[in-house]
Amino acid sequence: MKVIIMIGLTLFGMASGADNKLKEGSPAPDFTMQDQDGNTHTLSEYKGQLVVVYFYPKDDTPGCTKEACSIRDDYTLFEKNGIKVFGVSYDDMKSHKKFAEKYDLPFTLLSDLDKSVAAAYGTKGIFVPSRKTFLIDEAGMVRKIYENVTVTGHGAEILADFKALEAPAKD
């Protein structure tokens, strides 16, 4: 029953955020949010670095756990490639901390309590944000948007796409 409710809420979230016009090639909307440890992160402070911002519906739910663990399992490659990872949901810091500790998540989870960042990225839903991932380059530009995220293998998919974005175009 809980899974059916989460699927319904996720679909409702997708429908609510669908009108935002953020596109690949656009500047990534800046934000300031707190992480699971109470530290503040501002996206613009990470200019010069590759960044992943992934929105997910809820801490410690089946799909969100699979997605987070997929990124966790490839995290040494994210670090090796200088890629900063931010997971974003409406959950509070306490929930994020418990989630990160339970699954040994080495990356930053951010709390979008007022839903303003989800609104800026076009992921805002009434109860939960829709599941979307954004790859942001060193200049702060959105290079790729995943509208339909496959939670298993998402970490490897992100790494491959960052590598493809950096590869020189062949004539």
Burial class (CB in 10 A: 0-12, 13-18, 19+), 158: buried
What is the residue-wise DSSP string for 33-97? EEETTS-EEEGGGGTTSEEEEEE-S-TTSHHHHHHHHHHHHTHHHHHHTTEEEEEEES--HHHHH
Choosing from 14, 43, 51, 64, the catalytic residue is: 64
DSSP 141: B
The tokens describing 10, both together, are 């996720």
Active site residue 69: no
Q: What's the Rg (C-alpha) of the chain? A: 15
For 123-138, give one letter per residue: b (16+ CB within 10 A) or e: bbbebbbbbbbbbbbe
Active site residues: 64
